Structure formats: structure tokens, C-alpha cells
Amino acid sequence: MPPQVLASLPPAVRQALLARYREQLFESCERLGGHCGEDWPDLKAATSEAHRLAGAAGLMQDPTLSEAARALERLLRGEDRAGAARQWSRLEGVVRSAIAHMDGAAGAGRG
């Protein structure tokens, strides 16, 4: 979604979209966390979830999160479990940061 489209949405619609995106971030991380681990038991499911997360982040104009998820997806596709474990750790931090930013912006918008 081009930046001008998100910015042009009515505030209530934009807030609902951001709330759903925030929820999706939590859900994606929960699903990815279930697929991640020492041996990455389900690479296909983890790859698919990383791909969905990257797409959602791109749609919501979050290039940092989108690229972090794409990096994880590439590592998973290459079956680089050690690299994927490191990237998963980074991705979790990026997601936490994105959620904190949204929470801060939502709080500032209420005041």
C-alpha cells in the first residue's frame, strides 16, 4: 500500500487496520516460535509464515520488519538452521520494536 494510501485513510479505518496488523504480528510470532527451535522441525511451515509476515509488513509500510522476515525466509529456504535461529532472534526484536512503536503512537493519538 503506497504511503499516501495509508495516510489518506480515515482515522478510524487506519486505527482498525493498525490494530489488526499488531494482532497479526503477535500471531505470526507465536506460529513462527512454534516452528523454531534447535532443529526447526517444520521448515516448510516456518518458511511460509516468514513469507506471510514479510508481506504483511511490506503492505503496512514497515520495511525494517519486512526485510527481517524476508531474511529469515531466505535462510529457511536454504535450510540454514543456525543462520535462521540467529535471524529469528533478530526478527523477534524487530517485531517487539514495531509493536512498541505502534503502542506509543496509539497512546500519543489519544492525548
CA distance 55 to 110: 29
Measured from the Cβ of residue 23, the count of other Cβ atoms closer than 10 Å reads 10
Max Cα–Cα distance, the chain, nearest Å: 47
Q: Are 49 and 29 in contact (CB under 8 A)?
A: no
Q: Amino acid letter at 39?
A: D
Just give the CATH number of 3-102.
1.20.120.160
* pLDDT tens-place values along the chain, 111 residues long: 555 677 788 989 988 988 999 999 989 988 888 777 666 678 888 999 999 999 999 988 899 999 999 999 999 999 898 899 899 999 999 999 999 988 887 666 554
pTM: 0.83
